[in-house]
Structure 1
Amino acid sequence: MKKTFTAISFLAATMAFAQSNDSLKVNNVDEVVMTASRKKESIKEIPSSVTIVGEKQIQSQLTINSDISNILQYTVPSLATSSGTTTNSGQTLRGRQVLVLIDGIPQSTPLRNGARDIRSIDPSVIERIEVIKGASSIYGNGADGGIINYITRRSRTNQKISGISQIGITGQPYGGTLGIRATQLLSGKLSDKFDYVASLTYERTGYMKDADGVYLSPTYSTAKMDNYNGLLKLGYNINQNQRIEASYIGYASKSDLDLGLKTGKYGITPTIADGAGKNLATTPQGTPRNHNYKLSYDNKNLFWNTALNVNLYYQDFRTVYGYSDTFLNGGQSNVISKKSGLRANLDTQLWNTQNSQGEVIYGLDVLNDKTAQKLEDGRYWTPDMDMTNIAPFLMVKVDLLKKLTLKGGLRYENIKVKVSDFNTLSTIKNDGTFTKSIFVKGGDLEYNALVGNIGLRYNIQPYLNLFASFSQSYSINELGRILRTSTSETIANLEAKPIIVNNYELGATGQIAKWLNYEMTSYVSTSKLGASFVQSPDRSLTIQRAPEIVYGVEGYLNFTPLRWLNFGGSYSWMEGLTSLNDNGDYSAKINNSRISAPKVLAYVQLRPVQALSIGIDMLHGFRQNRFDPNPKTGLYSYGEGTVPDYTVFNFRSSYDLNSNWKLSLGIENVFNKVYQPAIAWWAARDSDFVNALGMRGTFMVEYRF
Structure 2
Amino acid sequence: INGQLDKFSYVLNASYEENGVQRDAEGDILGLTYGLSDTNTQNYFSKLGYQFDDEKALQVTYNYYKAKQDTDLINVVGNVNSGVKTYAVESQNGASILGEPQGPENHNVMLKYSDDEIFSHTQLVIDAYAQRIENMFFFSTNLANPEQGFDGGQSIIESEKKGLRATFNSQFTWQDIDTTVIYGIDALNDVTSQPLVDGRVWVPEMDMENIAGFVQAKWILHDNIILKAGVRHENIDLKVDDFSTLRLCRTADQCSVAFDVVGDTLNYQATTYNAAIRYNMSDAFSPFISYSQGADISDTGRLLRSATVTDIALIRTEASIIDNYEIGFTSKFDRIRFEFSAYRSTSELGTTNSFDSETGIYLPVRAPQEIYGYEALATYQVQSNLDISATYSWVEGKNTELDVYLGGKDIGAPKGTFNVNWQPADGARLALNYLYVGDRKRFDQIDGAYVGDQGPVDSYHLVNVNGSYDLGNQWQVFMGIENLLNNDYYPTRSQVYTYDGYNHKGLGMTVNIGASYQF
TM range (shorter): over 0.9
Q: CA–CA distance in 1 between the matches of 2:395 and 2:13?
A: 39
Q: What are the equivalent positions in structure 2 for 1:650-689 lying under 5 Å apart?
A: 650-658=464-472, 660-689=474-503
Matching residue's letter, 2:118: L
User: Compared with structure 1, are the counterparts of its residues 436 and 639 closer, same or farther at alpha carbon in structure 2 (3 Å cutoff)?
Assistant: closer
- Alpha-carbon offset, residue 432 of structure 1: 3.1
User: Compared with structure 1, are the counterparts of its residues 363 and 440 closer, same or farther at alpha carbon in structure 2 (3 Å cutoff)?
Assistant: same
Matching residue's letter, 1:682: V
Is 1:608 matched up with 2:424? yes
Q: CA–CA distance in 2 between the matches of 1:272 and 1:550?
A: 34
Q: 1:553 aligns to what SS in structure 2? A: strand
Higher fraction of strand: 2
- Alpha-carbon offset, residue 615 of structure 1: 1.3
Q: CA–CA distance in 1 between the matches of 2:275 and 2:193?
A: 36
Give the aligned partner of residue 92 of structure 1: none
Q: Name the TM-score, length of structure 2 as normaliser.
A: 0.95
- Alpha-carbon offset, residue 431 of structure 1: 6.1
Q: CA–CA distance in 2 between the matches of 1:420 and 1:237?
A: 46
- Alpha-carbon offset, residue 534 of structure 1: 2.8
1:271 corresponds, among 64, 77, 86, to 86
Q: 1:253 aligns to what SS in structure 2? A: strand
**Identity rate of aligned residues, in percent?**
34
Q: 2:504 aligns to what SS in structure 1? A: coil
Give the aligned partner of residue 434 of structure 2: 618
Give the aligned partner of residue 102 of structure 2: 285
Q: What are the equivalent positions in structure 2 for 1:466-485 lying under 5 Å apart?
A: 466-485=287-306
- Alpha-carbon offset, residue 672 of structure 1: 1.0
- Alpha-carbon offset, residue 326 of structure 1: 1.6
Q: CA–CA distance in 1 between the matches of 2:71 and 2:473?
A: 40
User: Compared with structure 1, are the counterparts of its residues 429 and 220 closer, same or farther at alpha carbon in structure 2 (3 Å cutoff)?
Assistant: same
Matching residue's letter, 2:310: E
- Alpha-carbon offset, residue 378 of structure 1: 2.1
Q: CA–CA distance in 1 between the matches of 2:170 and 2:503?
A: 55
Q: 1:382 aligns to what SS in structure 2? A: strand
Matching residue's letter, 1:203: E
Q: What RMSD over aligned residues (CA atoms) do the two structures have, in Å?
A: 1.6
Q: Is the 8 A contact 1:333 1:376 kept in 2?
A: yes
* 1:618-654, Cα deviation, whole Å (9 max, x unpaired): 1110111111222xx3211212211111001111011
User: Compared with structure 1, are the counterparts of its residues 347 and 611 closer, same or farther at alpha carbon in structure 2 (3 Å cutoff)?
Assistant: closer
Q: Is the 8 A contact 1:403 1:458 kept in 2?
A: yes
Q: 1:533 aligns to what SS in structure 2? A: strand
1:577 corresponds, among 398, 407, 413, to 398
Is 1:369 matched up with 2:185? no
Give the aligned partner of residue 171 of structure 2: 349
Q: CA–CA distance in 2 between the matches of 1:508 and 1:430?
A: 54
Q: CA–CA distance in 2 between the matches of 1:197 and 1:647?
A: 40
- Alpha-carbon offset, residue 265 of structure 1: 4.9
Q: CA–CA distance in 1 between the matches of 2:353 and 2:434?
A: 31
Is 1:593 matched up with 2:370? no
Q: CA–CA distance in 2 between the matches of 1:348 and 1:656?
A: 44
- Alpha-carbon offset, residue 343 of structure 1: 0.6
- Alpha-carbon offset, residue 536 of structure 1: 2.3
Matching residue's letter, 1:370: V
* 1:102-149, Cα deviation, whole Å (9 max, x unpaired): xxxxxxxxxxxxxxxxxxxxxxxxxxxxxxxxxxxxxxxxxxxxxxxx
User: Compared with structure 1, are the counterparts of its residues 557 and 331 closer, same or farther at alpha carbon in structure 2 (3 Å cutoff)?
Assistant: same
1:242 corresponds, among 49, 56, 69, to 56
Aligned pairs, number: 509
Q: 1:688 aligns to what SS in structure 2? A: coil
Is 1:251 matched up with 2:68? no
Q: 1:698 aligns to what SS in structure 2? A: strand
2:337 corresponds, among 517, 536, 539, to 517
User: Compared with structure 1, are the counterparts of its residues 685 and 283 closer, same or farther at alpha carbon in structure 2 (3 Å cutoff)?
Assistant: closer
Q: Is the 8 A contact 1:261 1:279 kept in 2?
A: no
Give the aligned partner of residue 515 of structure 2: 701
Q: 2:501 aligns to what SS in structure 1? A: helix
Is 1:441 matched up with 2:224? no
User: Compared with structure 1, are the counterparts of its residues 604 and 349 closer, same or farther at alpha carbon in structure 2 (3 Å cutoff)?
Assistant: closer
Q: CA–CA distance in 1 between the matches of 2:337 and 2:443?
A: 37
* 1:181-210, Cα deviation, whole Å (9 max, x unpaired): xxxxx111111x221111111111011111
Q: 2:58 aligns to what SS in structure 1? A: strand
2:443 corresponds, among 627, 630, 633, to 627
Q: Name the TM-score, length of structure 1 as normaliser.
A: 0.70
Q: CA–CA distance in 2 between the matches of 1:605 and 1:188?
A: 32
Q: Is the 8 A contact 1:218 1:257 kept in 2?
A: no
- Alpha-carbon offset, residue 569 of structure 1: 1.1
Give the aligned partner of residue 230 of structure 1: 44
Q: Is the 8 A contact 2:306 2:364 kept in 1?
A: no
- Alpha-carbon offset, residue 565 of structure 1: 1.5
Q: CA–CA distance in 2 between the matches of 1:590 and 1:441?
A: 32
Matching residue's letter, 1:456: I
2:160 corresponds, among 316, 338, 351, to 338
